[in-house]
Structure 1
């Protein structure tokens, strides 16, 4: 059931009337209608679908399925109804700017370095292309961005043309086509010739500007992130606000922000080292105090302690310091946090007990996991018993 595609006749149409040819519910329970003509662009070719209204009913999705352009609506619309459609123009024009900008940028990469575009993603905030090249330099990106913006300043026409497969030899296409019929070319004369089914402005000047933001390696390709049109100003505004905030926080002008931030990071690393050193000193005193409180239980000297929200590595270190200062003592630590119970068990070198076996014997009561060596072991699990109950089980298991 074919619909007349008004968005190909005039991409600037924002309102239209149409008759409902089909009104159904799909297998996902979504209402949809098929119209005799439509200005709603369906998802395709890397470009998201339009949004808008049909008879004041929200259209939240548009897809071309089995040859039909389906308009997904929040409420059903009866068949043979005459509809008035309204396109959300700001979204449509943004997509036109981004899509045309991608054509210009991709063509500029080919023009300057013969770097071909493998794929394109038009995101809600940022767009990206994947280049068939493993690395991209700062100089290359700047050179391409400058050429792309020169094309915009030239305000060249952006033309569309339907051609046959036989006529393709008359055009220097940027990449091979994926279709052999209903071929639509988007042309920027003497710069870019590309098969595309998307919507674009009528001139390059309406793209306004292109800004390459950053890029990253993607296997053997390079993913380039960029924005066009109004998104450039939005990015500039957001980044300026961040810079102003950092300028105030770091008490440094914009040109010295990187230096000031590095100084703060270096100072933070130094503080972290000093804090770690101080913790190690405190642990030595804590170990001494706990060892002095050791009790003889069933003939075995034990150090027992229940903690709240202590990092397990810290408790492991504390246990090691204790057993390093005594050969005949067992150390039993239980740690309780919001979500789980944890244990750390260690022993002096003269004892024949296995802490690994001890932990594994107790873990089932908290549905836990863990392990270690004969000298020290640890584990954790669900809070199915109290911390004191878990400690009691450890003591009884020795």
Structure 2
């Protein structure tokens, strides 16, 4: 069946008759435009079948339309054989045989038409220029892409060539038309691109979308009637994916939105870097170099501090050395700090050392833990510490270490050591105030 939306993709309102209406639920994730933060909601409503519809059912790589039936939101439209099933979020059912008013979400339809017709144009031009077949495509929420059957990454020069040709044809205003053909007999169908063939449940005539002088492509989607309605096409970039290449693009209103986003980001970078767009790369590279140099100096300071702590313990008379030494550093997950301390510290002390990224002990954060010393104590306490700190790791003999995800219970770990060594005197090193 050819639906009304496929006969006239620009029809925004339509009166039709209810064929059936059944109670249903729908697990629904709103689009970004609905500001639902990607959360899934279970909606209650009805699966409604009408005699005809201007709301496109999902298919051909194109998402379904949204709109309303008698003012109630249509959240999904799916094709089943020759019918379109609308999920309508409504408190009440619709009477079979009653007349209803369908209203189309036009901005969504226009966006889908621009991206889908733009995909047909890009596909045809890649085939004409490079003999690359388009094996699939994805109409994303902000950026779409086609998958080209080639192992060679497409250069920026080749992308620019296709982009120029596409926009030249848009300025020419080439006609886009749809013809219905009998796939069993029509000669027109033999010349049409049909990479996936007809659906197994297809009935009746097949739709072929034609761009005048460019190509014919079998497709069930909604399309513009003239390439000028695409406004413009921008090929963003190409990326290699296994043995294929994805070309990412935006068409029409999306290109304008992308330009706005890019310009806003440029202004933000100009303010942050205190330099114009022509200087951004140079300023960022200089900033990266400064960060790299500062990090190197910081690592050297940490190693010096670790060595000093180890020497302080080494200088203590054996009788005055603590049974265990616990220390947490929150100035970065620098395992070299731990390794340096342990390499220079006396071996007759049990060490419980943790590091984390910018979060104080007693807070929920990720980090690294090392427990080293008496093998019996290490093997007993190691698993307990990992459980308390929500970490993963292992160890053998006198060494146990792992990645930890919650530093909030470091004090509980220290209390376990305190209890283990009672009534013997235990000392805990405290991070200097200057390091916080």
Assess same fold via TM > 0.5: yes
How far off its partner does 1:168 sit?
4.0
Aligned pairs (5 A) from 1:1-398: 5-26=3-24, 30-75=45-90, 76-79=92-95, 80-134=97-151, 135-165=153-183, 166-168=185-187, 172-179=191-198, 182-292=205-315, 296=319, 302-307=323-328, 309=330, 311=333, 313=335, 316-323=338-345, 326=346, 328-333=347-352, 335=354, 336-339=361-364, 343-347=369-373, 354=375, 358-366=377-385, 368=387, 369-372=392-395, 374=397, 376-379=399-402, 383=409, 386-392=412-418, 395=421
> Contact 2:306/2:338 (CA < 8 Å) preserved in 1?
no
Residue 295 and residue 83 in structure 1: after superposition, are their counterparts in 2 closer, same or farther (change >3 A)?
Answer: farther
> Contact 2:382/2:401 (CA < 8 Å) preserved in 1?
no
Count of paired positions: 383
Residue 244 and residue 364 in structure 1: after superposition, are their counterparts in 2 closer, same or farther (change >3 A)?
Answer: closer
User: Which structure 2 segments of 5+ residues have no match?
Assistant: 27-43, 355-360, 425-436
> Contact 2:25/2:45 (CA < 8 Å) preserved in 1?
yes
> Contact 1:362/1:393 (CA < 8 Å) preserved in 2?
no
Residue 40 and residue 228 in structure 1: after superposition, are their counterparts in 2 closer, same or farther (change >3 A)?
Answer: same
Structure 2 counterpart SS, 1:103: helix
> Contact 1:332/1:343 (CA < 8 Å) preserved in 2?
no
> Contact 1:371/1:377 (CA < 8 Å) preserved in 2?
yes
> Contact 2:307/2:341 (CA < 8 Å) preserved in 1?
no
Which whole-Å CA distance do the structure 1 matches of 2:80 and 2:342 have between them? 66
Once structures 1 and 2 are overlaid, which stretch shifts more, 128-137 or 372-381?
372-381
Which whole-Å CA distance do the structure 2 matches of 1:242 and 1:214 have between them? 18
Which whole-Å CA distance do the structure 1 matches of 2:270 and 2:368 have between them? 44
> Contact 2:303/2:336 (CA < 8 Å) preserved in 1?
no
Which whole-Å CA distance do the structure 2 matches of 1:64 and 1:144 have between them? 34
> Contact 1:19/1:81 (CA < 8 Å) preserved in 2?
yes
Task: Please list the CA deviations of residues 41-82 of structure 1 after superposition, one character each: whole Å capped at 9, or x if unmatched.
Answer: 011101111111111111111111244211111114322321
Which whole-Å CA distance do the structure 2 matches of 1:178 and 1:170 have between them? 11
TM-score (norm 1): 0.86
How far off its partner does 1:389 sit?
2.3
> Contact 1:177/1:195 (CA < 8 Å) preserved in 2?
no
Which whole-Å CA distance do the structure 1 matches of 2:93 and 2:54 have between them? 17
Residue 21 and residue 384 in structure 1: after superposition, are their counterparts in 2 closer, same or farther (change >3 A)?
Answer: farther
Residue 387 and residue 155 in structure 1: after superposition, are their counterparts in 2 closer, same or farther (change >3 A)?
Answer: same
Which whole-Å CA distance do the structure 2 matches of 1:374 and 1:365 have between them? 16
Measured on the aligned residues, the alpha-carbon RMSD in Å equals 2.9
Structure 2 counterpart SS, 1:249: helix
